[in-house]
């Protein structure tokens, strides 16, 4: 068994959530959240911010840690157990640019109910649900400001 750790972000601007559409040689297609592998010497926070920047061209600001998800997948001759640490992030505009080198062909900000139905994986749907609930609590209490540094 191979163990892997990734980090990513649920990025929100004005109530809408950033998602990416990945299409890999017609074998893998679907809407996902930006995330990626922790590189040597990086903190989880640095990884999450870097991956959001690389995959979507978005400079996010971490608001808070929202939890982790775990899943398994198979590779030739082995099973990978992946743990993903997620951060609620703010963006200061709607601009995004999908990273073509990683087979992302579209990106954008969508309403919560749209994202929930677009996302391919149930673990990402659960993280979005938790992140959006926390976003609403912060917004309703007057603590959500898109350009402010939280973390």
Residue 149 lies inside a defined structural domain of this protein: no
pLDDT of res. 53: 97
Residue 124 lies inside a defined structural domain of this protein: yes
Q: Which of 151, 137, 130, 24 is nearest to 68 (CA)?
A: 130
Residue 148 lies inside a defined structural domain of this protein: no
> Which letter does DSSP use for residue 113 in this model?
H
pLDDT of res. 150: 47
Residue 151 lies inside a defined structural domain of this protein: no
pLDDT of res. 147: 45
Domain with 70 in it: 2-140
CATH number at residue 136: 3.90.79.10
pLDDT of res. 104: 92
What total number of domains does the chain contain? 1
Q: In this structure, what token pair is assigned to residue 79?
A: 């099973």
The low-confidence residues of the chain, meaning pLDDT below 70, are 145-151
Residue 43 lies inside a defined structural domain of this protein: yes
Contact 26, 66 (CB under 8 A): no
Contact 63, 52 (CB under 8 A): no
Sequence-ordered strand ranges (E) for the chain:
2-13, 16-24, 28-32, 35-37, 61-75, 78-90, 104-110
- Alpha carbons 126 and 139: distance in angstroms, whole number: 20
pLDDT of res. 151: 41
- In sign, the C-alpha dihedral spanning 95, 58, 115, 16 is negative
- In sign, the C-alpha dihedral spanning 145, 19, 124, 40 is negative
Residue 145 lies inside a defined structural domain of this protein: no
**0.85 cut: is pTM over it?**
yes
pLDDT of res. 119: 95
- The proportion of the chain whose per-residue pLDDT surpasses 70, expressed as a percent, equals 94
pLDDT of res. 63: 95
Contact 34, 8 (CB under 8 A): yes
- Alpha carbons 6 and 124: distance in angstroms, whole number: 13
């Amino acid at each position: 068994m191979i163990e892997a750790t990734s980090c990513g972000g649920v990025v929100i601007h004005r109530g809408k959530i950033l998602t990416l559409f990945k299409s890999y040689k017609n074998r893998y297609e679907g809407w996902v959240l930006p995330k990626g592998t922790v590189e040597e010497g990086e903190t989880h926070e640095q990884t999450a911010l870097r991956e959001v920047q690389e995959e979507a061209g978005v400079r996010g600001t971490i608001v808070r840690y929202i939890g982790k998800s775990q899943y398994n997948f198979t590779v030739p001759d082995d099973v990978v157990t992946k743990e993903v640490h997620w951060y609620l992030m703010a963006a200061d505009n709607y601009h995004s640019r999908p990273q073509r080198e990683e087979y992302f062909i579209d990106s954008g900000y969508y309403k919560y109910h749209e994202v929930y139905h677009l996302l391919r994986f149930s673990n990402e749907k659960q993280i979005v649900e938790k992140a959006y609930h926390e976003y609403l609590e912060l917004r309703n209490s007057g603590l959500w400001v898109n350009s402010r540094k939280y973390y």
